[in-house]
Amino acid sequence: MHIPPRVLTVAGSDSGGGAGVQADLKTMLALGTHGMSVLTAVTAQNSLGVQGAWELPAEAVRAQFRSVVDDIGVQAVKTGMLSSAVLVETVAELLAGLRVPVVIDPVGVSKHGDALLAASALDAVRTQLLPTATVATPNLDEVAQLTGVRVEEEADMRRAAAAILDFGPRWALIKGGHLTAGHGDGEQAVDLLTDGTEEHWLRAPRHDNRHTHGTGCTLASAIAAQLAKGDTVPRAARAAKGYVTGAIAAGFRLGGGIGPVDHGWRLRGEH
């Protein structure tokens, strides 16, 4: 009997299905793993933005985590929206007891610019959550929020990575997708993966498609899935970059705003 690697996401729900736990589980399935979830918050969300968010109690998060880990077990964990200092501290404490790869996506704002992390939680992310990370995957806005480093061009990404690594993750993946033409290669989406010694520049074609909701969740989940399958961090990051690039290329319109990336593009043999 084949039992797929098990991957746990600890994140919020996106009612529109484009990001959050929904994107995580779709990604994990597409990459041949069994996805499981610990829900941290419920959002009312669609292609136009986040209309409301309700945080779950810490005891509910802790109970979900223990239910899954103590019975089913996990080969990797990915975190997303944690929203408050209490939840960040709760999840950090739970992760500290694991001996499996952990991918921390320090979600600060949604694709539409809606705040998903309280300012009061930033210090807990820095001092308690990031030290548990095998890989931390901040975008440029999250780098600025956490470290004060503002990335204007590719050369700044090394400084950003060093600032993130100072908080304790083993690897930092600085996502440069928000760099615009004239600040790096406008034809490519460039990320920097480093542990402070090794350096891996991950480049992929930049697709002219505005429907990119869920990109960050998808990338972090893909890395976690690959780590659960036994990849090294550099191999996992490269595979995840390839998967999310295809998902962006196949992103589709939903509603009146920004549609989601397509998590199932490989299943149809596209691209």
**CA atoms of 251 and 168, how far apart (whole Å):** 34
- In the prediction, which pLDDT does 112 show? 54
- In the prediction, which pLDDT does 114 show? 53
- 3-class state of residue 38 by DSSP: strand
Mark whether 17 is an active-site residue. Answer: no
Active-site choice (26, 111, 175, 241): 175
Mark whether 26 is an active-site residue. Answer: no
- pLDDT tens digit sequence for 168-192: 999 999 998 767 544 444 578 899 9
Active-site choice (17, 147, 217, 246): 217
Mark whether 245 is an active-site residue. Answer: no
Mark whether 108 is an active-site residue. Answer: no
- In the prediction, which pLDDT does 183 show? 44
Mark whether 217 is an active-site residue. Answer: yes
Mark whether 147 is an active-site residue. Answer: no
pTM for the whole thing? Answer: 0.94
Name residue, tokens 């074609």: 205
Active-site choice (108, 214, 251, 259): 214
Given a cut of 50, the residues of the chain with pLDDT beneath it are 181-185, 271
- In the prediction, which pLDDT does 187 show? 75
Angle 117-226-61 from CA coordinates, rounded to 5°: 35
Q: How far is CA 194 from CA 159, 198, 201, in A?
A: 11, 5, 9
**CA atoms of 16 and 176, how far apart (whole Å):** 26
- pLDDT tens digit sequence for 153-164: 999 999 999 999
- In the prediction, which pLDDT does 119 show? 75
